Chains A and B, each alone.
Chain A
Amino acid sequence: GENVGLHLPTLSVQEGDNSIINCAYSNSASDYFIWYKQESGKGPQFIIDIRSNMDKRQGQRVTVLLNKTVKHLSLQIAATQPGDSAVYFCAERTQAGTALIFGKGTTLSVSS
């Protein structure tokens, strides 16, 4: 079956450090991956996405890396700020028009 999970439930970093949040997926048929950020009391908010024909995509302070060989996805946040503190989810989609399958989430705590 499909399974998207995260390696660590929590990650604590100092302000200014770079953060790396990892995710493993099991469905090699998935064609699209996405990272969401969820702040307390709010809905998930889009961060960055990547298609399966790419291995890297960069946004503002964030980079997503996709390694299809080992079915691994990571989110890198540069110069982490206290406002980055949230729960981060990776998700995959197996075909267009279908729902996302979410991993369990990593809680990122940034201390100043």
Chain B
Amino acid sequence: DTAVSQTPKYLVTQMGNDKSIKCEQNLGHDTMYWYKQDSKKFLKIMFSYNNKELIINETVPNRFSPKSPDKAHLNLHINSLELGDSAVYFCASSRDDRPTYEQYFGPGTRLTVT
């Protein structure tokens, strides 16, 4: 009955590789997000996506691309991985039909680029 799930939990790879992180939510939410948490625990939005619009944080390199096969999934693809991509990546989701809502976060994927 996990609300937001991510796979894998840990990902170790070499520079230059291409990798994907999967995210699924079973909450029926409209919007999904990807956040990056750096070594200092700072959480920063990368993308937000619903069936109408993809909003990209302008600071995110175009090596990162979200792909949504359906409303319940938002996967993160990363091309040509760099050392600086090492971080914990969190997927989240929320409803849009209420004036207040919380975002539900997944357990995170720790990416280590060597």
Please report A residues at the B interface, Cβ cutoff 8 Å.
31-32, 34, 36, 38, 41-46, 49, 51, 87, 89, 91, 96-102, 104-105
Question: Contacting B50 at CB < 8 Å: which of A34, A51, A97?
Answer: A97
Interface bits B38-50 vs A (CB < 8 Å: 1, else 0): 0011111100101
The answer to whether B102 touches A51, judged by C-beta atoms less than 8 angstroms apart, is no
Residue of A nearest to B98 (CB): A96
B residues 53-78 touching A (CB-CB < 8 Å): 55
In the complex, A43 Cα to B104 Cα: how many Å? 9
The answer to whether B99 touches A42, judged by C-beta atoms less than 8 angstroms apart, is no
Query: With A43-B106, A49-B102, A96-B96 known to touch, is A104 a contact of B31 (CB < 8 Å)?
Result: no
User: How near does chain A come to B70, taking the closest CB pair, in angstroms?
Assistant: 19
Residue of B nearest to A51 (CB): B100
User: How near does chain A come to B21, taking the closest CB pair, in angstroms?
Assistant: 13
In the complex, A81 Cα to B31 Cα: how many Å? 34
B residues 72-114 touching A (CB-CB < 8 Å): 90, 92, 96, 99-100, 102-108
In the complex, A38 Cα to B108 Cα: how many Å? 11
User: How near does chain B come to A98, taking the closest CB pair, in angstroms?
Assistant: 7
The answer to whether A99 touches B33, judged by C-beta atoms less than 8 angstroms apart, is yes
Query: Can you name 11 A-B pairs with beta carbons within 8 Å?
Result: A31-B99, A32-B100, A38-B41, A46-B103, A46-B104, A51-B99, A99-B48, A99-B55, A102-B42, A102-B44, A105-B41
Between B41, B48, B92, the greatest number of chain A beta carbons within 10 A of the residue's beta carbon is seen for B41
Residues on B with beta carbons closer than 8 Å to the beta carbon of A42:
107-108
Residue of B nearest to A100 (CB): B103
The answer to whether B105 touches A89, judged by C-beta atoms less than 8 angstroms apart, is no
The answer to whether B105 touches A100, judged by C-beta atoms less than 8 angstroms apart, is no
In the complex, A36 Cα to B104 Cα: how many Å? 10
In the complex, A49 Cα to B100 Cα: how many Å? 8
The answer to whether B43 touches A44, judged by C-beta atoms less than 8 angstroms apart, is yes
In the complex, A36 Cα to B103 Cα: how many Å? 10
The answer to whether B106 touches A89, judged by C-beta atoms less than 8 angstroms apart, is no
The answer to whether B43 touches A89, judged by C-beta atoms less than 8 angstroms apart, is yes
